[in-house]
Amino acid sequence: MVDKQNKLIVLLPPKTASNSIQNYLYNLGYGWSTPSIKLNFPEIHLTLKEYCLSFSIDPADLNNYDIIQITRNPINRFISSFYHQQRLLKCELDIEFLLDKLEECIHLIPNDPKDFYKVFYDQKLDWINSISNPNKTPYQDSCYSWGNWGGLRFYYPQSFWNDLNQNVKYFKLEDIINKKSNFNIFKAKLPWGHIDSFPDHHKDSIPHLNAASPYNKNFSLSIKNRIYNLFTLDFKLFDYEL
C-alpha cells in the first residue's frame, strides 16, 4: 500500500489484518497510488524494496514518507497461515508434518524463494501438490498465474519487510485490537477534512475483518516452541513472548 501524494507506505506481511488496515486507512481518506512498473511476480505483500521498485520511489526519498507496519504474534500468525495453506492446497495437513518440512527448507528464504518453491512445495509436499495440481505444473508457476504467492510469504519473518533498513513505525495488531496502541496518529494528518467529520463508528477502532477465534490454545507447547525456533528474530525484535 502506497499513497505517494500523502507520503504513506504501509508494509503488509500476510496474516496481519491486511484487509482491515487497508479499509481503515482508505476510510480515513488515504488513496492508494497506481504502480508505475509491472513486476514479474505477485504484487501483493510487497517488501519496502519491492514497493520502491513498483512505484518508482527513490530510496533516498523514503525519509519523506511515513512507513508503518503491523506486526502479529508469530505463533498466532503461523497458525493462521497453517489453516490458510490448507485452503490453498485444498487438502488437510498435519501441523507437525508441515513443521518438519519447513524446518528442512526454512534456510532457503528469503534469499532463495525459487528453490524454496521447488524443494518445499514440489518435492516435500509433492503428494499434496498432485491432489490440487494434477497436471504437475510447478507450484510457483501456478501461483504466479493466479497472482498470489501460494503461501510462500507466510513463512517469511516479519522483520524481512523492512529490507531497506528504514525508520519504520511498528504497531502490534494485538494492541490495536485491544485499543492499547496509538494508531490514531494518522488521524492528526487526515488527507481531507477534520477528525470531527469522520464517522463516529470509525473514530476509535479498526474494524477487524476476517477475524478468527483464538485457536492457538489448541496446539501443544512443543509445537509453539518449534514455531518460536523458526521465528526467533521476530519474537525478539518485536518484543513478543512465547
pLDDT value at residue 196: 44
φ, ψ (nearest 5 deg) of residue 93 = -125, 145
Cell of 207: 474494524
Query: pTM for the complete prediction?
Result: 0.85
pLDDT value at residue 241: 87
C-alpha to C-alpha distance for 62 and 137, rounded to whole angstroms: 39
pLDDT value at residue 124: 84
Which residues in 47-168 belong to E strands, given as ranges?
66-71
- Is residue 235 classed as helix, strand or coil in its secondary structure? helix
pLDDT along the chain (242 residues), means of 10: 91 90 80 91 96 96 94 95 92 93 94 94 76 73 93 96 95 81 58 44 50 67 96 96 84
C-alpha to C-alpha distance for 149 and 89, rounded to whole angstroms: 12
pLDDT value at residue 178: 77
The type of residue at 52 is: C
C-alpha to C-alpha distance for 106 and 110, rounded to whole angstroms: 8
Q: Are 198 and 36 in contact (CB under 8 A)?
A: no
